[in-house]
Each structure stands twice: as C-alpha cells, then as structure tokens.
Amino acid sequence: MQDMNDIFEIGGERLNSRLFTGTGKYGDDAMIPDVCAASGSEVITVALRRVDFQAATGNVTDHIPKTMRLLPNTSGARTADEAVRIARLARAMGCGNWIKIEVIADNNHLLPDGYATINATETLAAEGFVVLPYVNADLYVARDLVSAGAAAVMPLGAPIGTNRGLQTKEMIRILIEEIDLPIIVDAGLGRPSHACEAMEMGADAVLVNTAIATAADPVTMGRAFGEAVLAGRRGFLAGPGAQRLRADASSPLTGFLEG
C-alpha cells in the first residue's frame, strides 16, 4: 500500500508503515493481530508493567504478531531512575533494544516530565538503546533530547486518552521544522482525520492507542487510521514546498532593491 520509495527509517530499521499502535485498553488482546493486519502498523508499544514475565502464557505479548517491532514503554515510571530500570528489564527479558520513555509524575493530567525524560534518555542511549521519548511539544526539551541521543521525539498532540486531536499543532510544527530527528506524534489523536492532519503537516509517524482500542470496532478503526496516515503522508509528499513557514532570510523577489 505504501509508496514504494517512501521508507521510514528509525534506529537503523526500515519501516513501511508510519502508524505505530498500542496494546493498552483493549477489551480483548486477541484482537490485536487483526488490528495490526488491518492498520498495516509494524511497530507496537506495550507497557512493561503489564507484562508478567513469570506467567508462561496469558501475556499481551502472546498476541503480538512476530513480524511486529516491539516498542516496550516505561509507563508507570515516576522518575528517570524507574524508567531506566524498566528499560533495562525489558531488554534483559528479550523485548529488544527499542524503548519508549514515559515518565509521568502527575496522575491528574498524565503530562510527561521533560527533565526526567531527558535524563533517562541520556543514560539509555549511552547503553545502546534506541530511545523514543514521549514528551510535551517543547522545542528546548526536544533539542536536549537530540543531544541526549534520542532516536526520535514523540510529542503529544493532546493529553493521553483525551482524543482531542492536535491541540499542540503549532508547537509540533516548530519541532518538525527545527529538530533533525523523526517526529512521531503521540497521544491525543482521537480520529483518523487527526492522524491525517499530523502527517500532512510533516510528522514522520503517529502513535495511536486509545482511539483504536476503545472504538466500537477496533479492527475497522485500525484500518481507517492506517489509510488516514497514508493519505496524510501522500498529501505531505505532494505539497508544493510549503513546509517552511518561517520567513526566508534571502529575498528572491525583492532582492533587487538592495542592489
């Protein structure tokens, strides 16, 4: 389905789909393979706190197709230290070396702690993890994440679970312009049109969990998101160079006045 030559590369891995999905909130994890197939998603995030390494079966990981790239996350971590420990455990337990850092010390709004996230990213990137940090759409935090060795930046579109869409649109636009890492819009995307809009703006990928998992028909919703991401991406690629909104330093049309 994806355009043949539009490959998304992250952490040295080539991905055809720019839709990342999640595993939380489903009524039945057994529908995950169908959602993955319908959406075309190749990366799926799983909360390590939900995975029971002592239980031989009955884990969410049993339902994740082997072809998917696992993206364990540190949800539940309240400090950088906890996030680092969770990440190490994930790797030790064979979940690979990708990790989505979530450090949330405010249960009222579930907003990520940028400072702690940067610290955890620095530690884990140095240990060879492919670190994908979930953060507020903040330019300074994003810049520090670049220096800390992040593999991408995952700004929120709106607070987790709100389905409000791209409330942080202008800030994300700045990140897309300024940050030389993949920008993956995470959290808050409630409808396929939201995902489409993020992709059209030039986001490299989106992560959608709640909107798919809590839909009346998650499989069809997964397909809808897959199609929306593709449409948005095509719209972006087809755009007539309108991606830079910042004033250009040179003045091709009025330069003659200075001469």
Partner 1 sequence: MSFAKDMESYAGLDMSTTIHGKQRRDVHQALGKERPGPDDLLALLSPAAGDMLEELARKAADLTLRHFGRAVQLFTPLYVSDFCTNRCVYCGFNAEQGSKRRQLSLEEVRVEAERIATTGLRQILVLTGDARAKAPPEFLEQVLNVLREFFPSLLLEVYALTRDEYARMIHAGAEGLTIYQETYDPEQYARMHPGGPKQDYAFRLDAPERACRAGMRWVGIGALYGLGDWRMDAFWAALHARWLQDQYPGAEIGLSLPRMRPHAGAWQPEHPVADRDLTQILLAQRLYLPRASITLSTREPARLRENLLPLGVTRLSAGVSTSVGGHGSGQAGTPQFEVADDRSVSEIAAMLRNKGFQPVFKDWQPFDTVAA
Is residue 236 a contact residue for partner 1 (CB under 8 A)? no
> Which residues is 43 bridged to in the sheet?
20, 69
To partner 1, the closest distance from the beta carbon of 38 in angstroms equals 18
Query: Cβ distance 159 to 111 under 8 Å?
Result: yes
Helices (H), the chain: 32-39, 80-92, 114-126, 139-148, 169-178, 192-201, 210-213, 218-238
Is residue 169 a contact residue for partner 1 (CB under 8 A)? no
- Of the candidates 22, 32, 94, which has an alpha carbon nearest to the alpha carbon of residue 63? 32
Positions marked catalytic: 100
To partner 1, the closest distance from the beta carbon of 20 in angstroms equals 17
Backbone dihedral angles phi then psi of residue 245, each to the nearest 5 degrees: -95, -15
Query: Cβ distance 192 to 215 under 8 Å?
Result: no
AA letter at 84: V
Is residue 89 a contact residue for partner 1 (CB under 8 A)? yes
Is residue 67 a contact residue for partner 1 (CB under 8 A)? no
To partner 1, the closest distance from the beta carbon of 222 in angstroms equals 15
To partner 1, the closest distance from the beta carbon of 36 in angstroms equals 17
Output 116 or 230, the one with its CB closest to partner 1. Answer: 116
For residues 65 and 62, give the distance between their C-alpha atoms in angstroms, rounded to a whole number.
8
- Of the candidates 128, 236, 142, which has an alpha carbon nearest to the alpha carbon of residue 181? 142
Interface residue with partner 1 among 27, 240, 252, 259 (CB under 8 A) is: 27
Output 90 or 153, the one with its CB closest to partner 1. Answer: 90
Is residue 94 a contact residue for partner 1 (CB under 8 A)? no
Where on the chain is the footprint of partner 1 (CB under 8 A)?
Answer: 24-29, 49-52, 54-55, 58, 76, 78, 81-82, 84-86, 88-89, 92, 105-108, 110, 161-163, 210, 213-214
